[in-house]
Amino acid sequence: MAKNFFILFISTILLIGCSTNKEQFGESTIENATGTALSKDEFSKIRSLNNETFDTVNFVSREKVGLKYRLYKPKQQKISKSFPLVIVYPGSGRPIGTDNSSQLGVLPKLFASTEIQNKYPAYVLAPQFSERSSDYETDNKRNLLYSKPRASLNSVMQLIDSLKSNLNIDSKRIYVVGYSMGGSTAINSLASRPDLFAAGISISGIPQFDKTEKLKTIPIWLIHGLDDTENPINSDEQFYKEMSANIRFWKLKGTTHDNVFTTTILGETLPEWLFKQHKK
């Protein structure tokens, strides 16, 4: 009797574990992912968050390289409590500059919004790059694009270490998120410091292939439009195949590079998954 109960108990635990893993990871093609009037309203609401909600700060690395960034601090912060840190990388284009404001797009404002902060209080870091943070080259073996980080990523890693020393940051819940070039830089960050991050989300990015063994230990979520011609999805498809573990891959039907931000991935969709991940 006891033996049968033990077998049943173990089987139940395994089934629950497999079900949870299937929900968190795996490949999915998302139907009806294109923009709607509702998603445009949601997008505008998030973008309307005042930039002054974020502190304006400058950081100087050990190599005397300056890095401008914005930092949102959770309203609930207390000396006795630690909070997650979400690093959000911008895409190319307007966010490349020195004004220390144009990097505050929909992603950092999503994580700093009142609705999300009430449920998932966290620090939100939005660095600004004066040049590209990632470059793309062709992998002749795979016949597709891959990304590699620029030196500016070292400054961001030093900044994160500095913030860990000076703020109430939960070192087991440091996350990285990015769109387009920023999505590529998110993967570059995970590859650079796999010991640092609990999870990462890359939206419409180009992955890095030379450190997949280290990346397999980190939960990663890839989100990519099937009709993306600027950053073709085939690089993410190959990355998913080679990773095989701890990776979630959403392919959005009818979605290009520029219309990826719809209600499909706005609201609680990203934070809900991200904040489930904890570094062991």
Torsional sign, CA 113, 114, 118, 123: positive
**What pLDDT sits at residue 38?**
60
Residue 277's closest CA among 174, 183, 207, 195?
174
Q: Which domains does the chain have, with CATH numbers?
A: 39-274 (3.40.50.1820)
Predicted pLDDT at 266 = 85
Give the pLDDT of residue 6.
Answer: 32
Q: What's the Cα-to-Cα distance from 40 to each of 78, 111, 176, rounded to whole Å?
A: 36, 18, 25
What pLDDT shows up at residue 12? 34
Q: Which residue has the tokens 């929900």?
A: 23
User: What pLDDT sits at residue 3?
Assistant: 43
Give the DSSP per-residue string, 84-146. EEEEEE--SSTTSSSSSSTT--HHHHHHHSHHHHHHS--EEEEEE-SS-SEEEEEETTTTEEE
Summarised one tens digit per residue, pLDDT across range 19-61 is 344 467 899 998 866 666 667 788 888 989 999 999 999 999 9
Over residues 111-120, the pLDDT tens digits come to 999 999 999 9
This prediction has a pTM of 0.89
Residues of the chain with pLDDT under 50: 1-22
